[in-house]
Amino acid sequence: MSKEFDVVVIGSGPAGYVAAIRCAQLGFNTACVEQWRAPDDQPVYGGTCLNVGCIPSKALLDTSHKFHEMRHRFADHGIEAGQGAIDVAAMMARKNKVVGQLTQGVAGLFRGNKVTGISGKGRLLGPGRVEVGQPNGEKEEIGAAHVILASGSEPIAIPPTPVDDAFIVDSTGALEFDSVPQKLGVIGAGVIGLELGSVWSRLGSEVTVLEALDDFLPALDRQTAREALKIFTRQGLDIKLGARVEGSRVNKRRKHPVVVSYQDAQDKEKGGKEASFDKLIVAVGRRPVSAGLADPAAGLAIDGRGFVEVDAFCATNLPNVYAVGDLVRGPMLAHKGMEEGVMVAERLAGKKTQVNYALVPSVIYTHPEVAWAGKNEDELKQEGIECATGVFSFAASGRALAAHDTDGMVKLVVEKATDRIAGCQVIGASAADLLQQIVIAMEFGASAEDIALTMFPHPALSEVVHESALAARGHAIHKVNRKR
Ligand code: FAD
Ligand code: NAD
C-alpha cells in the first residue's frame, strides 16, 4: 500500500470535513477523500451543504429577502426605492463567490490542520483498506487504521417528473436559474420546497407548491403548522396539500412549457388536474449515497433505504469503520452530521463524547424562519404527558414592531409535573437564533421558571422567548393571560 493513515474519511461534506479536522486536531494522521473536483482537478471540499445546499440557498434567500423588502416594505419606513430590478446574473455571481470563499476556507483548514486531501472516489474494500479511483480508471489502495464514511445524500427522483436539468430541475438546478420564471411549480412542501419556492416567489415568480400529504409540515404541532401555512399563503405561495403528482410533459412550444398532472385530494369530484409552469422544482426528499461505497465482499450493513447501519456512536457492523451524516439514520441536517463527525473523532481518541439525538434543532430559513426542537404539544399529548404551553406573538414585541417584522410566535412546551422544558417551536424573524437559546437551556435541563427568572435585554427579539416562558407559567407581562 502506497499510503498509510490513522484515519481516512470518505467525503468532505460537513460530517466528513469536521470529522477529518477534529481527528487531525487530536493527533491522528488523517486523510479525506473527495470526488467533487474543480476544473483544475483539485478536490472541492464542503459537500452538498457548502456547494449546492445550505450556503448557496441561504445566499439566494438573503438576496431575495432584501429585494422583497425593497419592493414591499421600504415604503412603510418612508424609503422611496421604487420597484428596482433584480440582476439574476449578479445575484448568482455573489452566491458563487460566497460558496467559493467557504469551500476554499475548508481547504485552508485542511492545510492548517495537516489533513491530507485526496481527490478521487473512495471505496471501502474492508476494515483498514480504502481504494481511491480516478475518472481515467486508475486505482490506488490506501491504508487506514480507522475509516469514516461520510458520502452524504442526493435528491430523490420520482418517475412522474424526471429531472431534465432544463425545465424540470432538482434543488441544485433551482439554485442556477438564469432568469426569474414567470410560473414556477414545486413538488414537495418540505424544507427545500419552501425555501427555494420563497426565493423565486420574492423575485416575482408565481409559485405553486404541490404536496402529496394532507398535513402541512408534519414535524410541527398543528397550531404552529397552521400559523406557518397562513403566513406562507399570505406571502403568495399557493400551497396545494393532498396533491399527488401523476405525470408531466414538456412542450417547448407552449408559453409555460412544463405541464404537470395531479390528483387534488381536496377537490376529488373534479378528478385529475393540470397545471403549467416555466420551470418545475422536484424537492421530495433526499436519499443516502451508499451504492458502490463499499466492496460487497466487505460486508458493510446497509438497510433497505440505503442508510449505512450504525449504533448510537456511529459505529458500523465492521470493526474500525464508522459512518456519519446524511449517510446514516436521523435528520439530514448539516449540524447533526458535524456533531457526529466530532463524536467519532473524539471517541477514537478515547473520549466519551455522545450526540444528544433528542435535541437536534430544525430550521426552515424562510422569512419568517420556522424553527423547532424537542417535543411538541401534540407529541407529548400522544405520550400521555401533561404539559403546559406558553405562546407569545411577535406582534406584541416592541423590537419586532420597530423592525416592522411582526409575523410569528413562540410556543414553549413544558412538562407540567416538573416544569421542565420539553420543546419549543418558533416562527418569526431570527427564529433559528431564538430557538437556540431554548436548546441551550434544554441541554442544561432548564425549567420554564429558569427562563422566566432570567433577565433579557430590552428591546430585543429574545424577549418573545422570555414571555413564552412567563406565559407557560400563566403570568406573561405583555399579553393578557388566559385564566387556568
Ligand atoms: P454531503 O454534504 O452530501 O457531502 C458528502 C460528500 O461526499 C460530497 O462532497 C460528495 O462528493 C462526497 N462523496 C460521496 N461519495 C464519495 C466517494 N465514494 N468518494 C469520495 N467522495 C464522495 N442542512 C442544514 O442543516 N441547514 C440548511 O440550511 C440546509 N440547507 C440545505 C439546502 C439544500 C438546497 C440542500 C440540498 C440541503 C440542505 N441541507 C441543510 C442539508 C445538508 O446539506 C446536508 O444535511 C449535509 O450536507 C449533509 O452532510 P454530509 O457531510 O453527510 O454529506
Ligand atoms: P423533505 O423531506 O423536507 O420534504 C419533501 C416533501 O415532499 C415532503 O413534504 C413530502 O411529503 C413531499 N413529497 C414526497 N413525495 C411527493 C410526491 N410524489 N408528490 C408531492 N409531494 C411529495 O425533503 P426536501 O425538502 O427535499 O429536503 C431534503 C433534505 O434536505 C431534508 O431532509 C432536509 O432536512 C434537508 N434540508 C434542510 C434544510 C434546512 O435545514 N434548512 C434546507 C434544505 C434541505
pLDDT in tens, 188-201: 999 999 999 999 99
- What percentage of the chain reaches a pLDDT higher than 70? 99
Residue 66 predicted with pLDDT over 80: yes
For ligand 2, whether the C-beta of 216 sits within 6 Å is no
The C-alpha atoms of residue 464 and residue 470 are separated, in whole angstroms, by 10
pLDDT of 2 over the 80 cut: no
Q: Is the CB of 14 under 6 A from ligand 1?
A: yes
> Do the Cβ atoms of 342 and 185 come closer than 8 Å?
no
- What's the pLDDT score for residue 1? 60
Angle at 133 between CA 132 and CA 134, to 5 degrees: 130
Contact of 333 with 159, CB cutoff 8 Å:
no
Query: 262-298, pLDDT tens digit by residue?
Result: 998 877 666 789 999 999 999 999 999 999 999 999 9
Q: Give the mutation target among 284, 332, 333, 372 for probing the ligand 2 site: most ligand atoms within 8 A of CB.
A: 284
Which three three-digit cell numbers place residue 257?
412549457
Query: Which tens digit of pLDDT belongs to each residue from 192-249?
Result: 999 999 999 999 999 999 999 999 999 999 999 999 999 999 999 999 999 999 999 9
Give the ligand with the smallest distance to the CA of 154. 1
pLDDT computed for residue 269 by the predictor? 66
Relative to the alpha carbon of 199, which ligand is closest?
1
C-alpha 381 to ligand 1 mean position (Å): 35
Q: Compute, in angstroms, the gap from residue 49 CA to the centroid of ligand 1.
A: 5
The answer, yes or no, to whether any atom of ligand 1 lies below 6 A from the CB of 31, is no
**Does the beta carbon of 289 lie inside 6 Å of ligand 1?**
yes
Residue positions annotated with a catalytic role: 458
Nearest ligand by distance to the CA of 175? 1
CA of 11 to the centre of ligand 1 (A): 9
Cis peptide leading into residue 155 (ω within 30°): no
DSSP-derived 3-state class of residue 402? helix
The Cα–Cα gap between 425 and 362 comes to: 10
**Where does the pLDDT of residue 122 fall: very low under 50, low under 70, confident under 90, or very high at 90 and above?**
very high
484 CB-contact burial (10 Å; exposed 0-12 / middle 13-18 / buried 19+): exposed
Q: How far is the CA of 197 from the centre of ligand 1 (A)?
A: 20
pLDDT in the model for residue 42: 83
Mean pLDDT in residue range 151-177: 98
Grouping H, G, I as helix, E, B as strand and the rest as coil, residue 17 is helix
CA of 103 to the centre of ligand 1 (A): 13
Determine whether the shortest distance from the Cβ of 278 to ligand 1 is under 6 A: no
**199 contacts: CB under 8 Å, gap ≥ 6:** 57, 60, 61, 64, 174
Q: How many residues does the chain have?
A: 484
Predicted local confidence at residue 484, as pLDDT: 67
Q: Is the CB of 194 under 6 A from ligand 2?
A: no
Is pLDDT at 84 greater than 80 in this prediction?
yes
* Helix, strand, coil tally for the chain in percent (to 5): 35, 25, 40
How much is the average pLDDT of 462-481? 95
Atom 33 of ligand 1: nearest residue by CA position: 53
- Cell numbers at 16, concatenated: 466528513
d(Cα 208, Cα 120) in Å, to the nearest integer? 40
What's the pLDDT tens digit per position in 15-45?
999 999 999 999 999 999 999 998 888 889 9
Give the strand order in the sheet containing 272-277.
Answer: 243-250, 258-264, 272-277
